[in-house]
Amino acid sequence: MTADVIIIGAGVTGAAIARELSRYKLKILILEKEAEAAFGVSKSNSGIIHAGTQNPPSSLKGWLCVEGNRLIREEIAADLGLDFAQCGQLIAVFDLADLPELEIIKKEGEELGVRGLELVDRAWLDLNEPNISPGVKAALRVPSAGIISPYRFVYALVENAVKNGAELKTERKVTGIRPQKGGGFEVVAGGEVFRARFLVNAAGLYADEISAMAGAPTFKITPRKGEEYLLDKKREHLSNHILFPLPSATSKGVLVIKTADGNPMIGPTAHDVEDKADLSTTEEGLEEVLAGARRLIPSVSKSDIIAYFSGLRPVAGKDFIIRHEDSAPGLVNAAGIQSPGLTSAPAIAVMVAGILKEHGLGLEPKEEFRRLRPRPVHLFQVPPEETRRLIAKNPAYGDIVCRCELVSAQEIRDALKRGARTLDGVKFRTRAQSGRCHGGFCTTRVIKIMQEELGLPATAVSKRGRGSELIKDERK
Ligand SMILES: Cc1cc2nc3c(=O)[nH]c(=O)nc-3n(C[C@H](O)[C@H](O)[C@H](O)COP(=O)(O)OP(=O)(O)OC[C@H]3O[C@@H](n4cnc5c(N)ncnc54)[C@H](O)[C@@H]3O)c2cc1C
Q: Which of 50, 271, 359, 438 is catalytic?
A: 50
> Do the domain assignments include residue 431?
yes
Residues 212, 344 share a domain: yes
Is 438 an active-site residue? Answer: no
Q: What is the CATH number of the domain that holds 425?
A: 1.10.10.1100
Q: Closest Cα to atom 19, ligand 1: which residue?
A: 341
Residues 164, 278 share a domain: no
Residues 229, 112 share a domain: yes
Residues 295, 241 share a domain: yes
Let me know: does 153 contact 71? Beta carbons within 8 Å: no
Domain extent at residue 162? 2-42+150-221+317-358
Residues 340, 200 share a domain: yes
Residues 124, 28 share a domain: no
Q: Closest Cα to atom 4, ligand 1: which residue?
A: 45
Residues 426, 295 share a domain: no
Question: Distance, CA 183 to ligand 1 centroid (Å)?
Answer: 29
Residues 383, 236 share a domain: no
Distance, C-alpha 77 to centroid of its chain? 14
Q: Closest Cα to atom 48, ligand 1: which residue?
A: 40
Question: Distance, CA 20 to ligand 1 centroid (Å)?
Answer: 18
> Into how many domains does the chain fold?
3
Q: Which atom of ligand 1 is nearest to the CA of 189?
A: 42
3-state SS track over 180-239? CCCCCEEEEECCEEEEEEEEEECCHHHHHHHHHHCCCCCCCCEEEEEEEEEECHHHCCCC
> Do the domain assignments include residue 371?
no
Let me know: does 448 contact 454? Beta carbons within 8 Å: no
| Domain stop point among 302, 325, 358 | 358
Residues 418, 307 share a domain: no
> Do the domain assignments include residue 50?
no
Give the residue from 229, 208, 373 showing the smallest Cα distance to 276.
208
Question: Which of 30, 243, 309, 313 should be mutated for ligand 1, with most atoms under 8 A from CB?
Answer: 313
Residues in the chain where the model's pLDDT stays below 50: none
Q: What is the CATH number of the domain that holds 275?
A: 3.30.9.10
Give the residue from 140, 157, 149, 151 showing the smallest Cα distance to 99.
140
> Do the domain assignments include residue 233?
yes
Question: Distance, CA 61 to ligand 1 centroid (Å)?
Answer: 15
In sign, the C-alpha dihedral spanning 276, 281, 284, 290 is positive
Question: Which of 70, 315, 342, 348 should be mutated for ligand 1, with most atoms under 8 A from CB?
Answer: 342
Pocket of ligand 1 (CB under 6 A): 8-14, 31-34, 39-42, 44-48, 50, 173-174, 202-206, 210, 226, 228, 268, 311-313, 337-343
- H or E stretch covering 294: helix 283-296
> Do the domain assignments include residue 452?
yes
Helix/strand/coil for 108? helix
pTM value surpassing 0.85: yes
Between strands 185-189 and 174-179, the pairing is antiparallel
> Do the domain assignments include residue 80?
no
Residues 326, 307 share a domain: no
Rounded Cα distance, 214 and 198, in Å: 11
Residue 306: the pLDDT is 92
> Do the domain assignments include residue 66?
no
Residues 327, 214 share a domain: yes
Q: Closest Cα to atom 27, ligand 1: which residue?
A: 204
Residues 32, 123 share a domain: no
Q: Is 201 exposed, middle or buried (0-12, 13-18, 19+ CB in 10 A)?
A: buried
> Do the domain assignments include residue 387?
yes
